[in-house]
Structure 1
Amino acid sequence: MKISVIGAGYVGLVTATALASKGHNVVLIEKDKAKISSINKGKAPIAEDGLDDKLSDCLKHNCLRAVENYQEMLGTDVTLVCVGTPSNPDGSIDLSYIKQSAREIGKMLGKKTERHTVVIRSTVIPGTTRGVIIPALEEYSGHKLHDAFDVAVNPEFLQEGSALRCYFNPDRIIIGEDDKGAGDTVEKLYEGISAPIIRTDIPTAEMVKYASNAFLATKISFINEIGNLCQKLGIDVYEVAKGISFDYRIGDRFLNAGLGFGGSCLPKDLGALVQASRGLGYHARLLESVMEVNRLQVLKIIQAVEQKLGDLKNKKISILGLAFKPNTDDVRSAPALRVIEMLINKGAMVKAYDPMAMPNARAVLPEGIEYCRSAEEAVRGGDCVLVLTEWAEFKNESLYRGEIVFDGRRVVDPRNAKTFCDYQGICW
């Protein structure tokens, strides 16, 4: 199949590469010329396991190329929209990128003679595809839906650090359709992939993505709330989590108590859903509480450090981990960044190390932070160590020997830690 993918961000690049690796002819349309150049050289502009190799193989077989011009869409049968939907300052969804894409796609649809399918992979609030995207496509193409083009929604559930594995081994495939032909086209994209396929209407498919992320965020804030209580009772919350995980209704995923959630999806999508609820006159109390628990969780590590060291002015704080999770360079809404900003505001001197995320962190954090070449260098000479991302290399106990350690991710086994360092967990 001839496919165009709009947006070479995380979702777009992984999706385009995965489809090209299955033999489809894919053109990736992106405005950022630096990204285009990097992709066409076989170098992914994001850190993702196996992506560079897969991308290089696709380029070698001439089944993927990155371009700037939407005109390239004319030679394709299907367009997948993968542009970002970031947050406005109030937490509501920013649809500016998707509106712009819809306008440009619409213009191209007006020039086509063959029927075309537009698939929305971007995360959008329920009602957006029917209420915003389809009207824009109709206005700028001069055609009505189903006359010259069809639209479907296919939300993505990729997990950073293992996105290609997630693409080829999904838990489920959700297809939102108002036309069976559009749904059939999307389903063909997944030929050879074994997973339950749920075909539903468009608003339901949009809502499935938000409900999924809201539930995962809720599990994290729940176990952190339990962890905070357990710490006051002298109970190990990880033992509690293990005990409840054997209940098949609960499971063992997303029960790692600690600093809370970050990244490009959970905070953004939860905020958008809360704001959309307010717009409908509904007060989503549970979701607001999930966000508030997550906001407060980061404060716990600052409070613990102050209780131990006193005034933080001119204290040297060693930070291990900047990315919101291991095996990625993504620092969007990473708890580590909030911790560092609070430390700096209190007059502390910060030195930091992360195996992948330092360039991205440097671009958004204030000046004056010392970025180190290794974990050993970051720890050396600090008044205390804060472990904020659970990278495998941070499990090395020799890093912490004789140090004051505040562990936000249960990287160090607390049962052993107190034999070689002054150790404190965040909610255990």
Structure 2
Amino acid sequence: MQNKKKIFFWSPLLSHVGTINAVEKSAYALKKYLNYDVYLINVFGEFDHLQRNNNFNILNIFSLRNWPKTGLKSKFIIYLFTIFSIFKLNYYYKKYKPDLIISNLVGYLPNTLKFFYPELNIANSIQGLPKFNLIRKIIWNIFYSKADYIFTMTEITKKNILENINYKKKILKIDNPIISRRLRKLSMENIDDNEERKIFNKTTFCSVGRLTKQKNFIEIVKAVNDIPREFHSKFNVIIVGSGEDYKKIKKLIEKYKLINIFLLGFKKNPYLYIKNSDYFISSSLWEEPGHALLEAGYLNKLIISSNCPNGPRELLINNLNSIKYDLNNYKDLSQIINKILNNKIKNQFQLKLNMKKIVKNYTMFRFSKKLQGIIDQSSQI
């Protein structure tokens, strides 16, 4: 009987963001459709919620859990303590001999093992838009060039990497497995809070993500403030997520005296809030490709998005599968909301249907089949 393939996933992070969900779904896809043995390297506790899940093997690095979740301290800790984790990662590699390590974040560290174990197969899955300054170019050319594969989620990022590092091996566009039947099941759950349920009695616009500079939620607040007050009784806006920009966003809402924007905080199940909303707004400065955006498309929401790089620029076409506005132009966004409130956008059903056609590329089954070919090829080398 042929031995099962063993796959390590490495994704050190202090807060629970979309990348962790993507890793979980990627790992589950390989377990469900290919019956691989999947190991999640649990550096800071990012996979604690899966400790009792029989689908995964959790390999712990640090026992400490009281880490700062946001700000410069968290970034410093991630880069400092992942250096120390090399010893435990080395131990796990020698013990289990994985067929492939898939690194989703802080990828330089698993790549250091290639200096000692040339036979190791490693894939760096790039989850964000890399900004190549001089230091980052040096790091990437030393460490990331060691990877056997680099996965990107957009062709734009693929091109960007090839222009900045001397990489001679395979760089492939591999879509994260964002979509699953479980997502729809979760979206059908009930909202327990009575006050939150009342929000959806009006036309509701939803946005989901970490309250960070990247997500640019300030732009949504400014757009709502730009809409004449007589229309504010017709709609509500919800922002689902937590993060370092909470106070800044809340202060601006209070300054404008807006009573139809609700900061709901982090939700374990954001899908039911997307499902109960009428529209989804992505105001990001950049996305790669934008997990919440794809989830909203799957849940039949009309997407309103900035024309930012990389995902929205590559995946979304204005008036074909979405409505797009000029990034950093809140007046443009407010005009779109006004048109919706005044029933001046007539092709909404077709826009949502066309978005569904894009979303089908992001299923766990398709992801598993792409990875199977790569892993089988690696095993033959």
Q: For this structure pair, what is the TM-score category when the shorter chain's length is used for normalisation?
A: 0.3 to 0.5
Q: TM-score, normalised by structure 2?
A: 0.38
TM-score normalised per structure 1 = 0.35
Greater Rg over alpha carbons, structure: 1
Q: Which has the higher contact order (CA 8 A, sep 6+)?
A: 2
